[in-house]
Amino acid sequence: MRKLSMICLFFTSYGLSQSLDVDSFSRKLDELYRSQSSSGSVTMVVTNPRYKRTLTMDIWSLGKDFTLVKIQSPKKEKGITTLKKGTEMWNYLPKIKKLIRIPPSMMMSSWMGSDFTNDDLVKESSWEDDYTALEGVPEGEYRSLVFKPKPEAAVTWGKVVVYWDVNSELPVRQDNYDEKGIKVREMHFLDPKELGGRMLPSKLKLIPLNKKNQYTEIIYNAMEFDIEIDEAFFSKAQMRR
């Protein structure tokens, strides 16, 4: 009986030591590539049965409310810029010199023909503010958080499950479910390396489960965190420059 009790105590202690601090990990997910402010160089590769295309872009962020993304290549799309400022979002199209406001109903639409949505790109929603998180069922060596939208939150997903490596404290996979509880896409966090002085997954691979042989990758080439940048940088005038 004493031996059995010791075995039970071991597994109980192990489970507790591997559990997640829900609030801390929710905040970590919100700030994964942001911190208080950030800038970086990113490559996006869109792959589907019909074509493969590559975009390079520069990104800047300030807190949760400000994001600016400017495409640098290919040449035909150079200068296209996306701005998120508070709850509003715009695209600037340099060829026609036109600024287009993106309505909230379009936040879940594809960004530049990729599998990432406008919301994915500028992170309009917040894991900490818009979702209620609970620790989920472990999967092998990973622990999970189950995010369910708060009643007042303007989000589309019925549920999101994020799996974490508790040793590195980095996410490894994110499963998105629709309102009917069907898993519709997976995002894999790959190739951890040092970026801007911190260990981060340097590649995101997003796979829509309803589209065969299609996926989009984002590769973080370089990142800087806690840079000096103010709100004035995130302006419509900056989009046109």
Q: What is the pLDDT of residues 156-189, one digit of tens each?
A: 899 999 999 988 999 999 999 999 999 999 999 9
Listed by start position, the domains of the chain span 20-240
- Burial of residue 227 (CB within 10 Å: 0-12, 13-18, 19+) is middle
- Is the torsion defined by CA of 96, 89, 218, 159 positive or negative? negative
Comparing 19 with 208, which gets the higher pLDDT?
208
The residue behind tokens 């639409």 is 109
Instruction: Give residue-wise pLDDT tens across range 122-133.
Output: 876 788 888 999
pLDDT class of 19 with cuts at 50, 70, 90: low
Instruction: Give residue-wise pLDDT tens across range 138-157.
Output: 888 899 999 999 988 878 89
Under CATH, which architecture does the 20-240 domain have? Clam (2.50)
pLDDT at 21: 85
Whether the pLDDT of residue 70 is over 50: the answer is yes
